């Protein structure tokens, strides 16, 4: 009952952070991360806004909201310094916008993101064996997504992650209200990508363990 990849109107999503949280709560979630797209043009606008929002979100709310970012379309050499900057500012969940087949992305983005201290490599497209092994050794989650277009390589990512023992995460990458599916629907995305129900349960356990530190 988590989704650690969402967008608000702080980047290209359509919802205010509060409405995003309320809609996820209504859909049955306990934890979300707001991970708006950032590069050097907007990082100092987005990070303070997300942190102000999450710091003021009630601690006793039934849904926990974690501050995050998605490092998107960065020139490869910027990943390491951007990640360091985000951590220093207090960002908890760092998503790397991987080499999806649905958009042009710099070749080598998967590798550059995995070599930085990110938490999740989103929609990694036709990820190489070496990059899957790197994700495993660094404990970085590879994303299986419900997002149309980015989901084209879900089965390949599942197959390689299982082969090399890398950790997976299921996420929405939501931008609009209709992208917010229920936990049961999200589970079906995993099953459709080739996971068994037991493997989905293992993913949930891994994420629960990861989230304990927040």
Dist CA 107 CA 131 (whole Å): 13
| Chain residues 53-72 in contact with Zn ion, contact rule CB under 5 A | 70
Number of residues that bind Zn ion (CB under 5 A): 4
Sign of CA dihedral 127, 129, 135, 141: positive
Question: Distance (Å, rounded) from C-alpha 134 to C-alpha 117?
Answer: 12
What would the two tokens of residue 148 be?
């149309």
Which residue stretch of 21-29, 76-84, 120-128, 135-143 sits at the interface with Zn ion (rule: CB under 5 A)? 120-128
CB of 113 to Zn ion, least distance (A): 11
Question: For the stretch 157-192, what's the b/e string if a residue is b when 16 or more beta carbons lie within 10 angstroms of its beta carbon?
Answer: bbebbeebebbbbbbbbbbeeebbbebeebbebbee
Find the shortest distance in angstroms from Cβ 59 to Zn ion.
27
Candidates 11-19, 113-121, 154-162, 170-178: pick the segment binding Zn ion (CB under 5 A): 170-178
Nearer to Zn ion, 59 or 152 (CB): 152
Nearer to Zn ion, 49 or 202 (CB): 49
User: Is residue 175 involved in binding Zn ion (CB under 5 A)?
Assistant: no
Geometric angle at alpha carbon 192, from 188 and 198, rounded to 5°: 65
C-beta nearest to Zn ion: residue: 97
Residues that bind Zn ion (CB under 5 A): 70, 97, 122, 173
């Amino acid at each position: 009952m988590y989704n650690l990849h969402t967008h608000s109107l702080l980047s290209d999503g359509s919802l205010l952070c509060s409405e995003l949280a309320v809609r996820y709560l209504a859909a049955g979630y306990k934890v979300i991360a707001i991970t708006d797209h950032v590069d050097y043009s907007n990082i100092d606008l987005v990070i303070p806004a997300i942190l102000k929002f999450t710091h003021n979100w009630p601690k006793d709310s039934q849904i926990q909201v974690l501050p995050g970012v998605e490092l998107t379309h960065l020139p490869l050499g910027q990943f390491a310094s951007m990640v360091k900057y985000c951590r220093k500012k207090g960002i908890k969940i760092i998503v790397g916008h991987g080499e999806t087949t649905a958009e042009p992305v710099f070749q080598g983005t998967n590798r550059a993101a995995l070599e930085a201290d990110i938490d999740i490599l989103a929609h990694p497209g036709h990820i190489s064996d070496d990059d899957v092994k790197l994700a495993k050794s660094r404990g970085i989650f590879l994303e299986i997504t419900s997002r149309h277009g980015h989901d084209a390589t879900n089965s390949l990512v599942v197959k390689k992650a299982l082969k090399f023992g890398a950790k997976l995460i299921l996420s929405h990458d939501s931008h609009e209200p209709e992208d917010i599916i229920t936990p049961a629907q999200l589970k079906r995305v995993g099953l459709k990508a080739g996971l068994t129900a037991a493997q989905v349960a293992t993913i949930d356990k891994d994420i629960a363990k990861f989230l304990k530190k927040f």
